[in-house]
Structure 1
């Protein structure tokens, strides 16, 4: 791994931990704050909403600061608000701090993706972005299981203390290893950046990400209650479940990047989104079978992250003249999917009284995303307006 990727990797790991740890500790927070599981799911939506609201920051910051300065500023915000999350036992304050902790999320990945791609070889751009996202998947393989264990046996507040510590380390590494690249935009180009919203491809890829990515979060937001209540797994085994999903996500990220580099990002996206729909359906059908449930935890994790890097590259290519904005909006819209998925998953539980039902809601969202991806592929091919290739 190149040295400039190390702080991007670490930042992604910290962000991945603070975002995905909620899925493992949701029952503990609900018990600690004396609220219901569906109500505690709003903590996931609050973070996602913060990511969405924070995405426009890139338009301001990219005109005033260089990428290295932006990354450090975002990491300072990230560290402060996660530390504050660790300090409270009040539900409404936690909602506020989770929202604020989400603000730098999209900007960090947006700027980080640009740094990774600018410094990568022409035929390794998707792989460079995937190497950054490996930190996010490592958080699921190691960080989330450890955090879940600490939450179950000690306190969920400890998890956010650890995230804050990771933020401090990443600030130091960024100051050392991130090269001093020039500003990506000038004030005069700001109006030109917004012209990208006149293209139909722009709106297709935004809606694709916002809806299609909701499939992952409808399932993963309630994986704890699903495995405990439906599969009848003992709570102490949940760290291993989170790790199993994380291993699948890690392998999926590398596999999706490999297919994208060999074929094209849009092919990789459509292929793995189709597999995700099938896998989510199987999660519902085999929720009461322990061994099959374990298999589909792994497969669903793999499929759900296999299209992350290709989708990031598609965004940057669609936003050809507004690369930082495109890279950032990937995560803004990705977390709209987070919020939609968590909300619809909680709603399905309220109406069906089954913790397996969110996977069906997820399959429905992923199916809509698949149709949009196919439409995007047909449109760009027929108009020859965009080469969705690395």
Structure 2
């Protein structure tokens, strides 16, 4: 981005300004630390001198004996070293305290989504999903979704379409309880998702996000991430179904190839297919798919579509659709508009109604 906008000098100048500010703050801290130790030395020297002068005066007056004065000075000298050491360790203590505050701020953060007391383990599911009078908003005064009523039958493929920012991703995020609805019920096989244990719920759902997330590790590590007990044969089978096996086998280290941070060493299509293999290996009953909008070549597009078809087979699937082929192959299309479900039906049925979906289709999905 910096190179494309030719702003190298601007960014270098901004970086220099931040460095100068950091240098000045570091110098102030160093000066304070450097001043502290000599200051303690001066204070202790003045104190010793005052004690010696006063003690000598008391010896002259006969109040103290020379032995008592020397003993007292010995005790004071024993206390001087710890005081000097305190000055040296004070700056270290301050830095440690600041770091501890940031650490405990994270440790003390309460999760937004909690299991209710008495939550039960969700048994193996068929994949029936029901939204009943569901409303949601990040702020209760400003709803994003309102009065959503929707049923997804086991094995059904449902495409979600609508204008950007209408709440498609938010809607599917309510199923694995990434957020909780303000009102209404989201249920899976008749179980309210708020009343089941989070682990048992999310273990039966797989998500393939629009922006593929890979961890810094090997290809094998990323495929097996959701099911670490999988065998090598199962991993290879998942890669085959995701159309990524030939690519992996062409690499010198195969499944032990490092992908880099967020999969930076792989192309977009390769990352997508590895994410699909990860979802296939998980073998979920419910699949949430946010189709990538990034362009890939025709061959890679075909491989991805074949992999997605295998992934969606016999699974309850909610797809945030960006491709016409996905919408046409869906059992039903759910059209969101202005917080609500505007229309529900097949692609052909919705076009025949000549409603909001028809206008959306003409602007977003119709082939050029």
TM-score scaled by length of structure 1: 0.19
Is the helix fraction higher in 1 or 2?
A: 1
Is the strand fraction higher in 1 or 2?
A: 2
Higher relative contact order (CA 8 A, sep 6+): 1
